[in-house]
Amino acid sequence: MFAPGTAVRVKNDWPETRGPAHVRTPHYLRGMQGTVVRHLGTFPNPEDLAFARPAPMRALYHVRFAQPAVWQEGRSGDELQVELYEHWLEPA
Amino acid sequence: MDKDAPRNHHDLGGISKFMCEAVDTTPHTLTDFDKQVDAVRGILGAKGIMTVDELRRGIESIPEAEYHRLSYYRRWVRSMTSILLQKGVITETELRAALESG
């Protein structure tokens, strides 16, 4: 579990390139560093549910990113908050 | 600026070609077709034949050109058809016969 305030990095992983995949992590966040805001709950992994496979429970977090670093636009202080599953996050 | 990423086509957040189109927020009425598609989806779910998670995956798998051409509920029909074929619930032959009998 990640505590609020923990610096995390989104895995720079591309399951889409390895065959049929259902991914909830937006492409523009892969490899980006953000900060955990809060734990939202624990849910069956949607990547497995999409294929009707047994789905292990995964923690879901709100993670906040500085927007200029993500899209190379916006002002300092602009932020982006996205829901991400624990298996996409690693300590930064 | 678009990342040169091997993203799937439905993963279009922040892609510049979709950022300059006005979103139509006018309320619209559902057609009979829309309601029928929703009803079929409901039956498939209630009978445990397929889930909304599979429906979403099937929608994401529609080839890009077709995806943008199809209406919201036509994407649902396209997805339900391919999921039912993949799971062996219906066969190509049965589908063709049903379509031909109108």
Domain A7-91 sits in CATH at: 2.30.30.50
A67 → chain B, closest CA residue: B14
B86 → chain A, closest CA residue: A51
Predicted local confidence at residue A8, as pLDDT:
98
Q: Per-residue confidence of chain B (102 residues) as pLDDT tens digits?
A: 455 788 888 898 888 777 677 888 999 899 999 999 999 999 999 999 999 999 999 999 999 999 999 999 999 999 999 999 999 999 999 999 999 997
Q: How confident is the model at residue A29 (pLDDT cuts 50, 70, 90)?
A: very high
Encoded tokens for B15: 């892609």
Q: Is the pLDDT of residue A51 over 50?
A: yes
Count how many pairs of residues, chain A against chain B, have C-beta atoms within 8 Å. 49
CA separation for the pair A71, B44 (Å, rounded): 40
B54 → chain A, closest CA residue: A50
Predicted local confidence at residue B1, as pLDDT:
45
Which of A16, A26, A28 lies at the smallest CB-CB distance from B6? A16
Is A52 in contact with B54 (Cβ distance < 8 A)? yes
Contact A11, A89 (CB under 8 A): yes
Picking from A11, A52, A2, A47, the residue whose alpha carbon sits closest to that of residue A29 is: A11
Domain boundaries, chain A: 7-91
Which of A26, A28, A50 lies at the smallest CB-CB distance from B53? A50
- Stated as kind and residue range, the H or E segment containing A80 is strand A79-85
Read off the pTM. Answer: 0.88
Is A22 in contact with B57 (Cβ distance < 8 A)? yes
Q: Is the pLDDT of residue A7 over 70?
A: yes
* Chain B contact for A37 (CB, 8 A cutoff): no
Contact A85, A59 (CB under 8 A): yes
**Mean pLDDT, chain A, integer:** 96
